[in-house]
Amino acid sequence: MRRESSHEATCPIARAARLLGDHWVLLILRELGRGNRRFQELLLGTGISPAVLSQRLRYLEAEGLVSRHAYAEVPPRVEYVLTEKGRAALPLIDQLREYGERWLNPEPPETDDLDFVESASAEA
C-alpha cells in the first residue's frame, strides 16, 4: 500500500481526490444519486464488471459514503443508499458533468461507424 505524504494527509483536496478520484466511484455515486439502489441497476448504469462493482461498493461502505441494507427475503434483496457523506459528494459530481459537457468533446465515432453512416446515406 502506498504511503501517504504529510502534504496529502493535511491537504483537503488531496484527501478528497484520494477518496473520490476513481472514475468507477464517481459513476457509482452518480447512479446512487439517481435513485438506483440494487446491484443489477448499478451494473447497468455504470457498465462496470460485477467484481469491480463489489469491490468499490465495499470500499464506499468502509469509507462511510454508502450504507448497505440487506432484507430478510427470499430471494435475498440488498440495497445500497448514500449516507450524508455520500450525498455531500453529489454536487461535485454535478460539477464534473457540467465541466465535461462544456469543455470536453465526446469521443469521435469509430471509423467503422462513419463508414456505416456514409454507406447508409449513399443508399438513401
Where is pLDDT greater, at 115 or 64?
Answer: 64
H/E stretch holding 106 reads none
**93 Cβ partners below 8 Å, 6+ apart?**
26, 29, 30, 33
- Residue 119 confidence (pLDDT) above 60: no
What is the residue-averaged pLDDT of the chain? 88
- Residue 30 confidence (pLDDT) above 80: yes
Which residue, 113, 94, 117, 89, is CA-closest to 20? 89
pLDDT in tens, 64-74: 999 999 999 88
- Alpha carbons 111 and 124: distance in angstroms, whole number: 20
Where is pLDDT greater, at 105 or 89?
Answer: 89
The predicted structure's pLDDT at residue 1: 46
- Residue 121 confidence (pLDDT) above 60: no
- Residue 28 confidence (pLDDT) above 60: yes
The predicted structure's pLDDT at residue 10: 87
- Give the CA angle between residues 89, 91, 94 to the nearest 5°: 115
pLDDT in tens, 84-98: 999 999 999 999 999
Question: Which CATH number is 23-123 given?
Answer: 1.10.10.10
Where is pLDDT greater, at 42 or 114?
Answer: 42
Question: Which amino acid is residue 10, in one-letter code?
Answer: T
Per-residue DSSP letters for 2-45?
PPPPHHHHH-HHHHHHHHH-SHHHHHHHHHHHTT--SHHHHHHH
Q: Could you state, in order of their start, the residue ranges of all structural domains in the chain?
A: 23-123
Cβ-based neighbour number of residue 24 at 10 Å:
18
